[in-house]
Amino acid sequence: MKSALIRFGSFAILALVLASAIRLTPQLPDPERKPAELLVTQAATPSWKLRFDTLDRGESLRSLLVRGGLTADDAQAALQAAAASALDQRKIPAGMPVTIKSAAADSLPSEVTLQLAIDRLLHIRRDGAKWTGEEEHLPWTTDTIVVGGTIASNLYDAMNASAKEALPNSARQQLAWSLADVYEYRVDMSRDLQQGDEFKVVAERSVAPTGAVRIGKVIAATFKLSGNIIEAVRFSSGDERAEYFDQAGKSMRAAFLRAPLEFRRISSVFGGREHPVLGGWRMHKGTDYAAAKGTPVRAIGDGVIVREGWGNGYGNMLEIRHRNGFVTRYGHLSRFASGLHVGSHVGIGETVAFVGATGLATGPHLHFEVLVNGQQRDPRTALKQTGGDPIPAAERSAFEQVRDRLLASLDAPVSGVTKLAVH
């Protein structure tokens, strides 16, 4: 009873706002809650009875419609109209919100609304004995926001602390990963950040009529790392697609990524440590990235595979030789990417293997090394770069205008989320 009342309340405001337009935009309900009904009455308009339901796992849509008051024949006719419009019944997800609408004085429903996606509805309407379907795409409202924060432990926590009141969790995560992607050639967000480091980011935010939020492209950003500032600006150079450049006009892209995993969380860093299996104090000649088994491992730069196979304590091991003579080594792999072998050419960011716990490993993680002239080097220093190709001279002036305008929005103190403009 309590859950039904909660569900009833979650739809009440929405239904009252939209009833006058006789258009329904249902919010995402909790799939664990039972169906709820609402009677909407306004002056000079008919009274409507609205039933809110969700599709149970393994349940057919036909069964839900019959439960909602449609006859078996009407349910079949409504599904045929839906299929003729935009519905693929093989791709209906469990938990899909469904609203069934009928006149208060009529026991037979006259409209069914399926929420196929956050911004996509399918209305199935009855006119006498005939049912017709009509798809509706809900408009998103887009604005530009500035988010600023200070690192206490990691980027996730800083983003959560800064934007918790303004962005839902999914949007905060999306923004954190988008920001990490912009800086992935310059900063390893798992280990280069220090307490007290600061970030600011300008990004697009879109809000659906249902209240759902998604983050669009990052437009500009700045990171203060141990006192050093790295700025990034999105700019379209010539006929090329837009990419990011630093404050000096050098591309943020470079020859190497700073980390071999997209989902980065390090369990130990380069230097002395007690070996987790053999015991004793040994030089740990690489970096361990703790990650779930099966997490894709990516090549940090273009190169050729020179070793693929068992490497004793390394377990399943892969080595890639790069154009500058560096060799990167990836150990404890669960398996290698299909189609790759010694002699295969791989591109930067290409998935080459998957995280595992083979060899001398206590749990799933990736052991990563960089070898220079055959000697292990600290990846933090070996892969440190100052940027890629510069902006062409002919476009320098245009870039500086865009850079100055965008970075000006980051000059003012920012704490949390600030709205800049509406498009």
- Are 189 and 281 found together in one domain? no
Cα distance between residue 231 and residue 220, in whole Å: 8
- The alpha carbon torsion through 119, 124, 127, 130 (nearest 10 deg) reads 150
> Is 90 exceeded by the pLDDT of residue 355?
yes
- Are 127 and 151 found together in one domain? no
Greater model confidence, 104 or 363? 363
HSE-CB at 373 with a 13 A cutoff on CA atoms is 0
Instruction: Summarize the confidence of residues 106-123 as an average pLDDT.
Output: 87
Predicted confidence at residue 22, as pLDDT, reads: 34
Predicted confidence at residue 7, as pLDDT, reads: 40
> Is 60 exceeded by the pLDDT of residue 296?
yes
Three-state SS for 234? strand
- Are 34 and 176 found together in one domain? no
Cα distance between residue 218 and residue 231, in whole Å: 12
Q: What is the pLDDT of residues 389-400, one digit of tens each?
A: 888 889 999 999
Domain extent at residue 201: 141-254+388-422
What does DSSP assign to residue 299? -
Three-state SS for 3? helix
Domain count across the chain:
3
Q: What is the pLDDT of residues 42-58, one digit of tens each?
A: 555 567 788 899 988 88
Domain contains 259: no
Instruction: Summarize the confidence of residues 376-389 as an average pLDDT.
Output: 82
Report if pTM > 0.95. no
What does DSSP assign to residue 55? P
Instruction: Summarize the confidence of residues 346-366 as an average pLDDT.
Output: 93
Cα distance between residue 66 and residue 100, in whole Å: 11
Predicted confidence at residue 183, as pLDDT, reads: 94
- Are 160 and 244 found together in one domain? yes
- Are 155 and 33 found together in one domain? no
CATH code, 31 = 3.10.450.350
Three-state SS for 306? strand
Q: 84-98, 143-157, 320-334: lowest mean pLDDT where?
A: 84-98
